[in-house]
């Protein structure tokens, strides 16, 4: 009777123990698989692993295999590097200290662990009759850059492009400095580029006088009047 009881107990345990073992093995396998996925990352040439630690971030650039301790980070993501041509740039912001910077091409750019991509744009290409007025938004400093050239901005630069004014010998413009209020006349023939705070009127044609012709003129500022006789331009 004792032997029969033991045999019966064994047969009663087998149907329960085998499924439980399978369940435990399956669960263990799943756990190991999850740990492996959190610990081992395969990176291509243009890939980077961004690791979110409990206290800080770090980055590892490809190509290669990155092995990390799955218990020392909250998560990890693979991101692509930025490919920049010779005429492209990106503006980056550091989310840790708020600083900004510009990275110019050509290069394969791997971002830093705290870098955030703000903008990706082409450089400003100027021909020989174009210019760009550059304003630094932090200092307020303004400058003018003439073409031909290719211009890349600084992290705090704002730009406005324009065309130079080409004048023949019978044309002229009025130019005003908006900082000082000073006005002047610029005569052709020339190609006029502005200074940082200058603006120009439209082009005017000079008055051509024959020998027997004249014009009466008045200076609006001083009120002075005079007569200009031909032959003059």
Considering only 79-83, 181-185, 212-216, which range has the smallest mean pLDDT?
Answer: 212-216
Q: Determine the distance from the C-alpha atom of residue 86 to the mean position of all C-alpha atoms in its chain, rounded to a whole number.
A: 14
- Which residues partner with 226 through β-bridges? 217
Distance CA 62, CA 76 (A): 14
Percent of the chain with pLDDT over 70: 83
Average pLDDT of the segment spanning 199-228: 85
pLDDT value of residue 67: 85
Q: Where does residue 155 rank: exposed (0-12), middle (13-18), buried (19+ CB within 10 A)?
A: middle
Mode of pairing for the β-strands spanning 82-84 and 149-151: unpaired
In the structure encoding, which two tokens stand for residue 88, read together?
A: 């492209």
Higher pLDDT, 9 or 139: 139
Q: What is the mean pLDDT of the chain?
A: 85
pLDDT value of residue 30: 61
Average pLDDT of the segment spanning 70-84: 88
User: 102-154: per-residue pLDDT in tens?
Assistant: 999 999 999 999 999 999 999 999 999 999 999 999 999 999 999 999 999 99
User: 13-64: per-residue pLDDT in tens?
Assistant: 445 455 666 666 566 556 555 554 557 888 899 999 999 988 899 999 999 8
pLDDT value of residue 31: 52
Which segment, 21-25, 193-197, 218-222, 226-230, is predicted with the most confidence on average?
193-197
What string of DSSP letters covers the chain? -HHHHHHHHHHHHHHHHHHHHHHHHHHHHHHHHHHHHHHEEEE-TTEEEEEEESS-EEEEESSEEEE--TTSEEEEEEEEPEEE-TTEEEEEEETTT--EEEEESSEEEPPPTTEEEEEEEEPEEE-TTEEEEEEETTT--EEEEESSEEE---TTEEEEEEEPEEE-TTEEEEEEETTT--EEEEESSEEE---TTEEE---EEPPPB-TT-EEEEE-TTT--EEEEESSB-
Which segment, 127-131, 212-216, 228-232, is predicted with the most confidence on average?
127-131
Res. 6 pLDDT band, cuts 50 70 90: very low
């Amino acid at each position: 009777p004792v032997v029969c009881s033991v045999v019966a107990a064994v047969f009663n345990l087998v149907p329960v123990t085998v499924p439980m073992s399978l369940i435990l093995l399956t669960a263990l396998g799943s756990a190991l698989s999850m740990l492996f996925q959190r610990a081992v990352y395969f990176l291509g040439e243009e890939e980077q692993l961004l690791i979110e630690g409990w206290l800080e971030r770090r980055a590892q650039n490809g190509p290669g295999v990155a092995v990390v301790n799955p218990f020392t980070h909250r998560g990890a993501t693979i991101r692509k590097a930025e490919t920049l041509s010779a005429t492209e740039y990106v503006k980056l912001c550091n989310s840790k200290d708020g600083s900004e910077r510009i990275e110019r091409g050509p290069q394969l750019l791997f971002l830093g662990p705290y870098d955030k991509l703000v903008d990706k744009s082409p450089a400003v290409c100027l021909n020989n009759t174009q210019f760009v007025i550059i304003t630094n938004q932090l200092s307020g400093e303004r400058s003018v850059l003439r073409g031909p050239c290719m211009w890349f901005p600084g992290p705090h630069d704002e730009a406005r492009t324009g065309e130079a004014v080409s004048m023949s010998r019978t044309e002229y413009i009025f130019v005003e400095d908006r900082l000082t209020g000073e006005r002047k006349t610029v005569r052709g023939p020339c190609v006029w580029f502005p200074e940082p705070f200058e603006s120009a009127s439209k082009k005017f044609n000079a008055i051509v006088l024959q020998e027997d012709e004249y014009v009466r003129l008045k200076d609006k500022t001083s009120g002075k009047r005079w007569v200009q006789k031909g032959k003059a331009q």
